């Protein structure tokens, strides 16, 4: 069989078209390469990166509500799980009624400064005929500290206080008259009362931005 030959005028045209398609192919590939290099800029912007804020967990030690070294523990928190002898020492007797102690009482012969155990906001300051002057401070993580039997206060509702800041001074009240000069201190977490001695001088985990 005879092999068919291309006519002479077709060869130059074929070469010319091949050159054009080759050039266009190179141009397309080059353009695609440039587009791939620019793609990240269409998805990530400097503003998004700069606005990111890290969340960190920190450990803060809960301070004692006093700084005077002469202050001692006078009456403990009433623990339902403790032995009978410890429970008996945690009973409050007032107006012919026995009550479980819902906090701890710190005593001293001399009046002493009372300080905030953590940073927080003062949510209440009041004067009670039976409990004396009272300061309540709300902290992070639904942690609430209450200071009773104060003879004077140095803060008001709405104040932002720092850990260790003086918020008042110890005193006396009608409920614990036999103790004399003291501070009655309570801690609530998520609305429930807890033994303050389990948290004082302990690390409290908090989250900060």
pLDDT digits (tens, 9 = 90+) for 104-124: 999 999 999 999 999 999 999
pLDDT tens digit string along 124-147? 999 999 999 999 999 999 999 999
CA angle 119, 139, 148 (to 5 degrees): 90
- The domain ranges of the chain are 57-208
Tell me the CATH number of domain 57-208, given options 3.40.640.10, 2.70.70.10, 3.40.50.300, 3.20.20.140: 2.70.70.10
What average pLDDT score do residues 42-50 get?
Answer: 36
pLDDT digits (tens, 9 = 90+) for 57-104: 457 899 999 999 999 999 999 998 888 888 888 888 888 888 899 999
Q: What predicted TM-score, i.e. pTM, was given to this entire model? A: 0.70
Residue 24 confidence (pLDDT) above 50: no
Res 118: pLDDT = 97
- Decide if pLDDT at 56 tops 70: no
pLDDT higher than 80, residue 183: yes
Q: How far is CA 82 from CA 14, 90, 195, 199, in A?
A: 102, 10, 12, 18
The SS3 assignment for 141 reads coil
Closest CA to 109 of 147, 76, 71: 71
Instruction: Tell whether the torsion through CA atoms of 164, 166, 170 and 173 is positive or negative.
Output: negative
């Amino acid at each position: 069989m005879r092999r068919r030959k291309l006519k002479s005028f077709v060869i130059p045209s074929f070469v010319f078209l091949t050159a054009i398609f080759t050039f266009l192919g190179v141009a397309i590939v080059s353009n695609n390469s440039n587009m791939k290099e620019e793609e990240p800029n269409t998805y990530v912007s400097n503003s998004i990166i700069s606005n990111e804020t890290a969340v960190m967990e920190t450990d803060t030690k809960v301070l004692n509500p006093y700084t005077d070294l002469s202050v001692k523990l006078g009456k403990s928190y009433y623990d339902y799980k403790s032995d009978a002898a410890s429970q008996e020492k945690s009973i409050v007797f007032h107006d012919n009624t026995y009550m479980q102690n819902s906090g701890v009482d710190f005593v001293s012969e001399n009046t002493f400064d009372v300080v905030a155990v953590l940073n927080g906001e003062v949510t209440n300051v009041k004067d009670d005929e039976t409990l004396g002057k009272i300061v309540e401070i709300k902290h992070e993580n639904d942690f609430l500290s209450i200071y009773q039997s104060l003879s004077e206060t140095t803060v008001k509702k709405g104040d932002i206080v720092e850990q260790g800041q003086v918020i008042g001074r110890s005193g006396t009240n009608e409920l614990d008259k036999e103790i004399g000069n003291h501070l009655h201190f309570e801690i609530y977490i998520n609305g429930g009362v807890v033994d303050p001695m389990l948290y004082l001088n302990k690390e409290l985990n908090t989250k900060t931005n």
